[in-house]
Every structure is written in C-alpha cells, then in structure tokens.
Amino acid sequence: MHKYRKEEEKCLLDYIGKNEEEIFETQGGKNWISNVACLTMNILKKYRHKNWQWLALSQNLAISKQEKIATKGEFPWLWEEIIETMDDYVQCNVKFDIGHPFYHKFSKKNKNICRDVEEYPDFLWDWRAICLNTNITESFISKHLDKLEDDIFKTYLSFNKNLSIDFLLSNQVPNEKIANNPNLNEKNLHIYLSKKLINSTRKIQDALTENMAIDFILSHPEYNWNYELIQFRDDITSDDIVKFSDFFHRNGHMHIISSCSNVDKKFLQTYAHTNLDYFYRWHSGLTIKEVLHLPLEKIFLNKLEGTREEKLKFLREYYAVRKIEKAFLTCYWSLEYAWGRRRLEKEYDSLFLDQTVKEKM
C-alpha cells in the first residue's frame, strides 16, 4: 500500500504544480485539497505556508492520527476532530473550555464510551451525544436511565442502530421516532408504521431513505423517498440502475446515479444517461490519475478515494514485477545455470584477473 500511496502522491504533486494558484487561492480549491484522499504529510509540509482548510484537514483520514499527534506543535490541528478515545485525549494532552464542541463530538464518537464513562464519571460527558454513539449497548443505557429522563433523549436514542426497536418501545420512544432506527426494515416496517405516517413528514421520509434496503426503496416509488439521499447509499449497484431505470427517470433524477460512488465507474462512464459533470464532481471512486485532464472547478468536490480493487491490482502488479526481478537476479548470479556461470566467470576475469595484471605491471 505504501507504493500505491507514493504513486498517488506523485500524481497529486503534478496536479498541484499545474493548478497551484487556483487550488490555494480559492475557497473551493482549499476545501478540495484539504479533503482529498490521496493527500500525504509530505505534501502538507511542502505547502505548509499555503491556505489550508484546517477543519477538513483534521478530519481527513489520509493523514493518520499518529502523524497529526507527532506534528502537534507544527500545525494548528483541531483536536476535537481527531481525539476518539480517552487514551487519545491523554496522549494529545490538550484542554478544552467548558461548553466547547469537543465534549459533544467526543461523547458521540468515543469508541470506548461504555468503559470510559465508568472510569471517568466526572468528565464533562454530553449525554445527548452519547445516545447517538453507536458503541453503546442496551445494558449501558439501562444502567444510566436516570440521566435520560427528558423526552429529547428518546429522540436521540431512536437513531442508534445498536438499540433494538423493542428496546426503544419499552423505554417509551414514540412510534414516529422509530422511523429513525436503522433496524427498521421491509419485514417490520408496517408493524410499527402506517403508510400515512410514512408519508407524513420529511424527517420520516429522510430517515427511511437512509435506513431501508435499497431494493425495497426502488420497488416502492409510491412512498415519498428523498431522491437526493439515495446517491449516498453504499449499496446501490449498476444492476439496480438497469433494473429500476424507471425509478430514476421519474421526475428527472438521473443525475443522482451519476454520483453514486458505489456504482462501478466504468459502467457509469459508458452508460447513456450518466451526467458526466456530476460523475467527475462527486464519484469518489475516481483516482487523481483519472482527473488530471480536468480543471479544478470540475473536481473540487471529489475526494478521489479510488477503489479497493484498483489498489489491490496495483499491489498485485507491483509484487509480480518484484518477483520476476528476483527470479531474474537468481538466474543472473546462480551457478546452477550455464548462463549464470558464464556471467560469473566473465565478471571474475574482468574484476580480478585484469586488476592482478595491472598490479604486477
């Protein structure tokens, strides 16, 4: 993977070299370069004096947490975007004022939330955010119900995929809030929600668009789905686009599929109804190599993450070449092969015999 990253880094440096002013002097350019998935610490250090978007940079996983911690005094990282556990908090050794957004973000994304709450009970935990943390358990919530008596907590709990619908209902979460729960599916949808309730509010429609199986959504155009949210689904495929083409053609929503990052990019490049502007702007499966010919304005919203298959292909080819090189060198120097013996004899004659003659002279 190191070799793949180096190749990406080289391409990105070439692109920056050709578009440096537009990248660092426009808001769109700064946002793009700070978000792009092929960014490296070497590039950040090379252009350290340029205008970066530090919120996006702090969130960008292309630069590892350890790299950020190692450059704590060198760059103005936003630590509330980086710290994920109490161990990180201790290691980073940063302090936040009471009321700082850190406490909400940390409570929401802490990977060891159940353990850390028990070990640090006096920490300024945000219990609304804890309700949204997907690392909590039903037993953890049951133990801390005294902190969740307000109805607002029930709304937050309803979003959590780690909490079953039955658990939520047993704790007086209203039915209309159940639509937020990712455990809702085509099998139990009508047990908990009526068709009238499903189409009643935009919030319910948005929640169901995010949570229901994609086949169910595409098979039921009678519900008021949020078409824009569909493009962010990671389970939509090229087969879905062909099979349910009427769904996307309805009301002019073909631009949605053009930006679905999970849909095979080769399919979209040749599909007659693909909107190429949306494709290059949003399809994060593209790589920096594939957009070198485009101006920044065409790609500044794209993180250019590439695909797993391409990374594996690169690695397979790289190691195949290394294996061939190794085999070649084995033959080149080995006494097992006549060609190798001749090569060694020739090298010996030229390196040692000629030198001996010269010394005698």
Q: What is the pLDDT of residue 333?
A: 54
Q: Is residue 304 part of a domain?
A: no
Give the DSSP letter of residue 353: I
Number of structural domains in the chain: 1
Confidence class for position 343, pLDDT limits 50, 70, 90: low
Q: Is residue 39 part of a domain?
A: no
Q: Which residue has the higher pLDDT, 304 or 337?
A: 304
Q: What is the pLDDT of residue 3?
A: 74
Give the separation between CA 221 and CA 251, rounded to whole angstroms: 11
Q: What is the pLDDT of residue 357?
A: 47
Q: Which residue has the higher pLDDT, 165 or 336?
A: 165
Q: What is the pLDDT of residue 143?
A: 94
Give the pLDDT confidence of 121-136 residue by residue, as tens digits. Answer: 999 999 999 999 999 9
Min mean pLDDT across 173-177, 182-186, 230-234 is at: 230-234
Q: Is residue 275 part of a domain?
A: no
Min mean pLDDT across 73-87, 148-162, 339-353 is at: 339-353
Q: Which domain holds residue 346?
A: 314-361
Q: What is the pLDDT of residue 231?
A: 74
Q: Is residue 352 part of a domain?
A: yes
* Mean pLDDT, all residues of the chain: 83
Q: Residues 89, 112: contact at Cβ < 8 Å?
A: no
Min mean pLDDT across 22-36, 46-60, 286-300 is at: 286-300
Give the separation between CA 284 and CA 305, rounded to whole angstroms: 5
Return the amino acid letter for 151: D
Q: Is residue 343 part of a domain?
A: yes
Q: What is the pLDDT of residue 236?
A: 86
Give the pLDDT confidence of 314-336 residue by residue, as tens digits. Answer: 555 555 555 555 665 566 555 56
- Buried residues in 326-351 as b, exposed as e (16+ CB within 10 A): eeeeeeeeeeeeeeeeebeeeeeeee
Give the separation between CA 53 and CA 24, rounded to whole angstroms: 10
Q: Is residue 213 part of a domain?
A: no
Q: Is residue 346 part of a domain?
A: yes
Q: Is residue 322 part of a domain?
A: yes
